[in-house]
Structures are given as C-alpha cells and as structure tokens.
Amino acid sequence: MLLLTGATATTRVPAAATHALAGADLLLLSKPGGVREDALPGLRPIGMPEALRKLAASALAATVRSWAAGLLSPGQLGVGVPNACERILHEWGAHLAHHPGDGILQLDFKNAFNLVSRPAAEAVLHRALPLLTP
C-alpha cells in the first residue's frame, strides 16, 4: 500500500504504470441547463479511476472506515454510516414531530469543497488516522 501512496510512488513505480495508479481519466458531460453566463457549456467532470488504483483505495478505506466513522460522528453521516440519507430523514421527521415550530434550512455552497484548506485537512487526517500516513 505504501508503494502506491507514498513518496516513493514517483521513483519506484515504472513510468508506464504511473498513469494507471496516479489518478483517473475524466469524462466531461454537459450539465443540465445548457450554456453558462459566459456562453460556455456547463461541464461536469466524471472521474473514472483505473481498476488497480480503485482496488487499492477501496482496501485502504475498508481498513479505516469504522474508526473514521467513530472519529467523525455525530457531526457527519458520510463515512461508515449505513443508510445515512434515510437516517437523516427519519431523525428530522421525529424532531419536527416533537418541535413543530422548528424548520430546516438547506444550504448549497457553490464550489465549497475547494474552499477547504487541503494542507489543514491532511494534517488533521494524519493526526487522527495515522494508518493513512505513508
């Protein structure tokens, strides 16, 4: 696993294999709604990872899934929580039944994922999940 994720991946993996291991091919699909304000088509990149990389990532994710779920709960339901969407709907339904004056606000921030500091997120993950550190 370290060979695929560590710093040695760029020096010990043959050049012919680096594309297959390093990422994914992107397929650009047109977004619903057509043309943007700048007259360019709205595109949605869909990543198609190579099979070997996906297999390695799945094995690594399975190793830390339950630990990460415990670390991140109850603030998130995206990692290691089965039926998360159904759980959220039932919890909010029960809450609103007991508190009919409450409401739900859903926000969708444009490009919010890219607002997160990747070095800060990586530092938190390395502290919290040392198994992920190469």
Q: Is 90 exceeded by the pLDDT of residue 30?
A: no
Which residues touch 33 (CB under 8 Å, ≥6 apart)?
42
Tens of pLDDT, residue by residue over 67-83, are: 888 887 887 777 788 88
Contacts of residue 3, Cβ cutoff 8 Å, sequence gap at least 6: 9, 12, 13
Per-residue pLDDT tens digits for 33-73: 767 777 777 777 777 767 777 787 788 888 888 888 888 78
Q: Give residue 90's pLDDT.
A: 93
Quick one: average pLDDT of 84-92? 89
Cβ atoms within 10 Å, residue 68: 20
Cα dihedral 53→59→65→68 (10° resolution): -60
Whose structure tokens read 């992920």?
Answer: 132
Q: What percent of the chain has pLDDT over 90?
A: 9
pLDDT at residue number 95: 94
Task: State if pTM tops 0.85.
Answer: no
